[in-house]
C-alpha cells in the first residue's frame, strides 16, 4: 500500500511539473531599442490576463508602474527612457502566477538589455495530512522550506538547487491549527497556509 501511495505521489508531482513547464511559454518580455533613449516593450501572454508592468532603479525605487485594464495576449508600447539617469534598471511583468524580469542598463552608449528571467509561483496542495509542493527553480537558487506555527519556526529543510523541486511532507502528526509553509529561493519567498483539522 505504501509503495502504491509513493508511486501515485510521484506521478502527481510529475504531472504538476509538466504543467508548470508548459505554462512558462505563456509569458515573454522583450525590450527592443528603437532610437536614442527609446525602446519598444513587447509582451506576449497566452493567458490573456491583465499585466502589471513595473520599472525599478538599482535602489529598488519604482520609476514606472502600469496595470493594463484589458486582458490582452499582446502588448506593445514605446517607452521614452531618455529622462532616466544612467544606471541599471529592472522591468518586471506579472501575469497571473508568472513573473518575467529583464534588467537593462542605460549609458551614454545607449541601452543594453539583459537576459529574461522567469519565475513561476510554486504549487502547494494539502490533502489527507500530506503537504505537496512543486517548484521550477530556473535560476538554480538554494531552496529551503520552512514550517511555522504562530510565527515560530518548527521545521526547516534544505532542498538544494535542482531545477525541478518536488517535495511532500507528512503533517498528519501535527496538532490542529494553522501552519505557514514558506518556500525560499534566493530573494523570492512564497507562502502557503495549511489548516490542520
Joined together, the cell numbers standing for residue 90 give: 529592472
Q: What is the mean pLDDT of residues 1-16?
A: 45
Confirm if 91 and 133 have CB atoms less than 8 A apart. Answer: no
Nearest residue to 182 (alpha-carbon basis) of 162, 161, 152: 152
- pLDDT score for 18: 41
Confirm if 45 and 94 have CB atoms less than 8 A apart. Answer: no
Q: Which domains does the chain have, with CATH numbers?
A: 23-119 (2.60.40.1930), 121-196 (2.60.40.10)
Nearest residue to 137 (alpha-carbon basis) of 145, 126, 146: 145
Confirm if 135 and 151 have CB atoms less than 8 A apart. Answer: no
For the chain, what percent of residues have pLDDT higher than 70? 87
Q: How far is CA 8 from CA 47, 51, 160, in A?
A: 29, 36, 24
- pLDDT score for 4: 47
What's the pLDDT tens digit per position in 42-67? 988 777 778 899 999 999 999 999 99
- pLDDT score for 95: 87
How far apart (Å, rounded) are the C-alpha atoms in residues 99 and 62? 16
Q: What is the mean pLDDT of residues 158-187?
A: 92
Amino acid at each position: 500500500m505504501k509503495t502504491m501511495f509513493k508511486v501515485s505521489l510521484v506521478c502527481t508531482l510529475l504531472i504538476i511539473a509538466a504543467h508548470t513547464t508548459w505554462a512558462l511559454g505563456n509569458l515573454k518580455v522583450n525590450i527592443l531599442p528603437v532610437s536614442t533613449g527609446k525602446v519598444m516593450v513587447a509582451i506576449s501572454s497566452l493567458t490573456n490576463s491583465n499585466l502589471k508592468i513595473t520599472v525599478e532603479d538599482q535602489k529598488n525605487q519604482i520609476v514606472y508602474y502600469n496595470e493594463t485594464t484589458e486582458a490582452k495576449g499582446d502588448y506593445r508600447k514605446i517607452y521614452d527612457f531618455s529622462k532616466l539617469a544612467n544606471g541599471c534598471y529592472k522591468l518586471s511583468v506579472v501575469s497571473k502566477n508568472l513573473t518575467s524580469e529583464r534588467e537593462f542598463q542605460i549609458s551614454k552608449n545607449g541601452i543594453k538589455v539583459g537576459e529574461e528571467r522567469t519565475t513561476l509561483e510554486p504549487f502547494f496542495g494539502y490533502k489527507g495530512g500530506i503537504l505537496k509542493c512543486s517548484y521550477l527553480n530556473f535560476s538554480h537558487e538554494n531552496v529551503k522550506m520552512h514550517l511555522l506555527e504562530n510565527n515560530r519556526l518548527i521545521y526547516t529543510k534544505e532542498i538544494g538547487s535542482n531545477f525541478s523541486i518536488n517535495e511532500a511532507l507528512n503533517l498528519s502528526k501535527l496538532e490542529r491549527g494553522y501552519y505557514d509553509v514558506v518556500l525560499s529561493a534566493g530573494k523570492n519567498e512564497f507562502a502557503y497556509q495549511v489548516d490542520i483539522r
